[in-house]
Chain A
Amino acid sequence: MRNVAPRRWLLSVMAVFRKDLHSELRTRYAVSALVMFVITTIAIIMFSLGQENAPPEVLSGMLWVVIFFGAMSGLSRTFVMEEERGTSMTLQLLAPPSAVYFGKLLFNFVLVTALNIFTVLLFLFLVNGFVVQAPLVFILTVFLGGCGFASATTVIAAIIARANTKGTLYPVLSFPILLPLLVAVIDATKSAAEGAPLDQVGGVFQFLISYIVVLTTLSYLLFEYIWKD
């Protein structure tokens, strides 16, 4: 199964991705859950802040709290859906495990990036005192943060779907794995809000990239064991 021609493998990755995208666009389950979640949480933050201007350190932490729980409410969908509809067996027959993994990873990456952009825009427009002085650092942080979220949570979504727990365990299992990423992105967001130059945040970006590479590789290696019955 592993020695499929690269071109065919890439085609099946894209096929899995397109299938997920279509079924998502048809029901809009994950997207509406994510959007409503983000709006609710930001509203709560705004109510609790009132007219006060919170310092940027606090707000950059809050931004990632919203993103973390938002991601937790939507990213497990791709795998849980397969189990609920009973389509995972068919998918096992039709595509090699690595293609399924990368297709879903790509889908989750698109989903989490959309979520990040939406959350960040709402934050920038609505929350008083959240000003980004170094836009490039901020954009890179949000992008790499999205990659990291997708690479760490996709494999855990697969575990969750297999364990038939439907998401109660999802944040519990994801949090320890995501914490190095969260600490690093919150740190970088703070620096971006304070207007730090790019080379000062370079260490954090190296850390993020190595984290993404390590977790994606490992997920690819382990996915077969989760996926196959």
Chain B
Amino acid sequence: MGLRITLGILLTLVLLAGVGFPLSPHPQHWYELPVIPGLEEKARLIFFHVPTAWLSVIAFLTSMYFGIRYLRKREHIDDIRSSSAAGLGFMFCVLATLTGAIWAKFNWGSFWNWDPRETSIFVLLLIYGAYFSLRSAIENTEKRATLSSVYSILAAVTVPFFIFILPRITSGLHPGAKGDPDGAGPVVEFKMSPNMRVIFFSSLIAFTLLFVWMFQLRVRAAKLESEQ
């Protein structure tokens, strides 16, 4: 109950601040966000797009964690947890891809142009797709749990190659790529004023709580389904 209330309040505040705070070229008040040349109003996306992408990675790691636990303990509940996390991750991955593509249309001129970050989110989508097609191909519950756990661990290990290494050895458009004048650092350090940072990190926390809540719900539902 406490989780739901905190989540509701936090998400509302983030939404209000992220969408509602005015931009100004010389911020004077605490609620004014700076104008970033070249981004302007489009900079607001960072409060929502980055957390969804973050969540899809968190969900992926959660899925892998429960996959490992399943392989060690062989308890069916861990497989339920693993696949529930993967399902949520897939949903947020789609959201991150869509919001990113719409933003790219207005900022870079086309919905999709194989920037290294776009490639990495595309691969994350493919991994989720492959994971679910593998699951649907196997009838036996134990076999399905074992093989999909193994696959999610394998796939999880290739993800860092995409998210952290590849974008930095090949150049691209996304902030934080090689060739960005501010250096190839994590995207978080990207030209944010202190108040933007507060909104950004509250948004990250809010989305993480959202994941925790939805994850619990889904696990409960999946457990009931499997007991029937």
- Interface residues in chain A, defined as those with a beta carbon under 8 Å from any beta carbon in chain B: 155-156, 159, 162-165, 169, 172-173, 175-177, 179-180, 183-184, 187, 203-204, 207, 211, 214-215, 218-219, 222, 225-226
**Interface pair B137/A222, CB less than 8 Å apart:** no
A173 contact from B71, B123, B134, B153, Cβ within 8 A:
B134
**Interface pair B143/A162, CB less than 8 Å apart:** yes
Given A173-B151, A226-B150, 7 additional A-B pairs, CB 8 A: A163-B143, A176-B126, A176-B155, A177-B154, A180-B162, A214-B157, A218-B157
CB distance from A148 to the nearest CB of B (A): 11
Q: Write the B139-173 contact mask toward A (1 if CB under 8 angstroms, else 0).
A: 00001001101110111011001100110011000
**Interface pair A183/B158, CB less than 8 Å apart:** no
Q: List the 10 closest A-B pairs by CB distance, nearest first.
A: A180-B161, A176-B126, A176-B127, A173-B130, A165-B137, A222-B150, A163-B138, A172-B130, A176-B123, A177-B158
**Interface pair B123/A207, CB less than 8 Å apart:** no
Return chain A residues, CB-CB under 8 Å to B149: 225
Return chain B residues, CB-CB under 8 Å to A176: 123, 126-127, 130, 155, 158
Return chain A residues, CB-CB under 8 Å to B165: 180, 207
Q: Write the B162-196 contact mask toward A (1 if CB under 8 angstroms, else 0).
A: 10011001100000000000000000000000000
**Interface pair B166/A180, CB less than 8 Å apart:** yes
Does chain A have a CB within 8 A of B133? yes
Count of chain B residues near A, Cβ 8 A: 28
Complex Cα distance A168/B133, Å?
Answer: 11
Does chain A have a CB within 8 A of B129? yes
- B143 and chain A: residue at smallest CB distance: A162
B158 contact from A162, A180, A203, A225, Cβ within 8 A:
A180
Complex Cα distance A149/B149, Å?
Answer: 22
A-facing residues in B93-140 (Cβ within 8 Å) = 119, 123, 126-127, 129-130, 133-134, 137-138
A-facing residues in B28-69 (Cβ within 8 Å) = none
**Interface pair A225/B150, CB less than 8 Å apart:** yes
- Interface residues in chain B, defined as those with a beta carbon under 8 Å from any beta carbon in chain A: 71, 119, 123, 126-127, 129-130, 133-134, 137-138, 143, 146-147, 149-151, 153-155, 157-158, 161-162, 165-166, 169-170
**Interface pair B155/A177, CB less than 8 Å apart:** yes
Scoring A164, A176, A214, A218 by chain B CB atoms within 10 A of each residue's CB, the highest score goes to A176
Return chain A residues, CB-CB under 8 Å to B138: 163-164
**Interface pair B166/A218, CB less than 8 Å apart:** no
Return chain B residues, CB-CB under 8 Å to A162: 143, 147
**Interface pair A159/B123, CB less than 8 Å apart:** no
> In the complex where A165-B137, A183-B119, A183-B170 touch, is A159 in contact with B126 (Cβ < 8 A)?
no
- A218 and chain B: residue at smallest CB distance: B157
- A165 and chain B: residue at smallest CB distance: B137
Complex Cα distance A203/B171, Å?
Answer: 14
Return chain B residues, CB-CB under 8 Å to A159: 134, 147, 150-151
**Interface pair B154/A155, CB less than 8 Å apart:** yes
**Interface pair A163/B147, CB less than 8 Å apart:** yes
B166 contact from A163, A183, A219, Cβ within 8 A:
A183
Complex Cα distance A183/B115, Å?
Answer: 12
Q: List 12 A-B contacts (CB under 8 A).
A: A169-B137, A177-B158, A179-B126, A179-B162, A180-B162, A180-B166, A203-B169, A204-B169, A207-B166, A225-B71, A225-B149, A225-B150
> In the complex where A163-B143, A204-B169 touch, is A222 in contact with B154 (Cβ < 8 A)?
yes
**Interface pair A218/B151, CB less than 8 Å apart:** no
